[in-house]
Structure 1
Amino acid sequence: MSAKKILMFVGDFVEDYEVMVPFQILTMVGHTVHAVCPGKKPGDTVRTAVHDFVGDQTYMEAPGHRFVVNFDFEKVDAKSYDALVIPGGRAPEYLRLNQKLLEMTRHFADSKKPIAAICHGPQILAAAGVLKGRNVIAYPAVGPECTVAGAKFGEVNDTASNALTDGNLVTAPAWPAHPEWMRQFLIVLGSKIEA
């Protein structure tokens, strides 16, 4: 496996598991992950939120950890990265308002570099205009946005543990999908894990 340089978009109230687990998995197998946030510098933190279902009509939100930003958003040259990861939570709803972030997203899509997005992460892909004709899944409440953006929205299983690969794009509905989402993304990245 050749190690890849991966960009990850984070922001306050990113979903805790959806930022922590992929960051740790990708780092564990030897990739370099630069977690960046508009308006924050390396060493700054973003607040995370834990989303879970406890019987209400939608998920509840509990305070998570603080996640450390480890690279300067303003110094990102998207061309120097091999792949992009977009965690979910509430962060994508306002990160998608940043035009530089959307330009970076378009670079990855236009260059057909690997992209992994989970939960609300596809909101950024929709805002960047890169979902037309793509097969995608996300948190079901994001499905209408994906469809309006021209994507074919796939089926989310009962446990939200499935993932979907369409060429360079790997999407999943929520953190229970981490094993499948990261497995499929590692394949797209060309990573091999030796037993």
Structure 2
Amino acid sequence: MKRILMLLANGVEPLEIAAFTDVFGWADLVGETPFTLVHAGLRPEIQTTFGLHLRISNRLEDLNLDEYDALALPGGSEPAGFYEEALSRPYLAAIQHFADAGKPIASVCVSSIALGAAGVLEGRNATVYHQIGGKRMKQLVDTGARFLDRPVVEDGQFITSSGPGTASEVAFLLLERLSSVDNSLTVRKRMRFDSPSQHWFDTPQVM
């Protein structure tokens, strides 16, 4: 049984939560490896980017992080208050714990800002949601990361991505790392997801 911790900050993006929830739910049903995805937060209830309220089953402070094989980090938005918790000491400490243990960390969209703030991306390739002249790219680079304008970037144990539309690919890549390429492809096919071309992975997000 593989266990993934999905850490949810207030202001998180619903689509990015759903990608991890569904991909690993399907993997547990039809894949070669059983999975449990556990979500946790810093408070008992959060409001997502677009106003959906969620009850959080687990408080981060109550968990033994050593019991988990990987960390999943959906992103969110500043107007919804995402960075208040995503850049908080407990959130960053959890990232550092998984990084120190050498376990996979999969982040979507602006959650790579938290990785950078945790000090784990220095000298590594990474991406983030950005626009021409945007501050998120500068925030990432200021933490010592090497910014790559690609939809998904892998470097060592870290997966980063450029927006909500990449969330499913991040989840499938994490699934591949925790099981196998064949298993990830099987789950993808059963969910009726197409595989992006190499061109998609190589295409800059801001032209």
Same fold? TM cut 0.5:
yes
Q: Which residue of structure 1 lines up, in the alignment, with residue 193 of structure 2?
A: none
Task: Report the residue type matching 2:97 in the other structure.
Answer: H
* 1:152 matched to 2:163: no
Q: Which residue of structure 1 lines up, in the alignment, with residue 159 of structure 2?
A: 170
Q: Which residue of structure 2 lines up, in the alignment, with residue 33 of structure 1?
A: 37
Structure with a larger share of its residues in helix = 2
Q: Which moved more, 1:28-37 or 1:90-99?
A: 90-99
1:134-153 deviation per Cα after TM superposition (whole angstroms, max 9, x unaligned)? 11111114221111111111
Residue 46 of structure 1 and its aligned partner are, at CA, apart by: 2.1
Question: Which structure 1 segments of 5+ residues have no match?
Answer: 50-62, 157-161
Residue 92 of structure 1 and its aligned partner are, at CA, apart by: 4.3
Structure with a larger share of its residues in strand = 1
For residues 48 and 18 of structure 2, what CA distance do their matches in structure 1 show? 9
| TM-score, normalised with respect to structure 2 | 0.75
Residue 6 of structure 1 and its aligned partner are, at CA, apart by: 0.9
* 1:89 matched to 2:76: yes
For residues 46 and 5 of structure 1, what CA distance do their matches in structure 2 show? 23
Task: Report the residue type matching 1:108 in the other structure.
Answer: F
For residues 89 and 71 of structure 1, what CA distance do their matches in structure 2 show? 19
For residues 94 and 136 of structure 1, what CA distance do their matches in structure 2 show? 22
* 1:187 matched to 2:195: no
* 1:24 matched to 2:11: no
Question: Which structure 2 segments of 5+ residues have no match?
Answer: 29-34, 190-207
Structure 2 counterpart SS, 1:145: helix
- Paired residues, number: 171
For residues 155 and 40 of structure 2, what CA distance do their matches in structure 1 show? 25
Are the counterparts in 1 of residues 20 and 168 from structure 2 also a CA contact under 8 Å? no
Q: Which residue of structure 2 lines up, in the alignment, with residue 7 of structure 1?
A: 5
In the alignment, which of 47, 65, 70 is matched to residue 78 of structure 1?
Answer: 65
* Shift in alpha-carbon separation, 1:130–1:102, aligned structure 2, 3 A: same
Structure 1 counterpart SS, 2:48: strand
Task: Report the residue type matching 2:63 in the other structure.
Answer: V
* Shift in alpha-carbon separation, 1:186–1:16, aligned structure 2, 3 A: same
Percent identity between the two aligned chains: 29
For residues 116 and 18 of structure 1, what CA distance do their matches in structure 2 show? 11
For residues 12 and 36 of structure 1, what CA distance do their matches in structure 2 show? 11
Residue 93 of structure 1 and its aligned partner are, at CA, apart by: 0.9
Task: Report the residue type matching 1:84 in the other structure.
Answer: L
Are the counterparts in 1 of residues 106 and 174 from structure 2 also a CA contact under 8 Å? yes
Are the counterparts in 2 of residues 16 and 64 from structure 1 also a CA contact under 8 Å? no
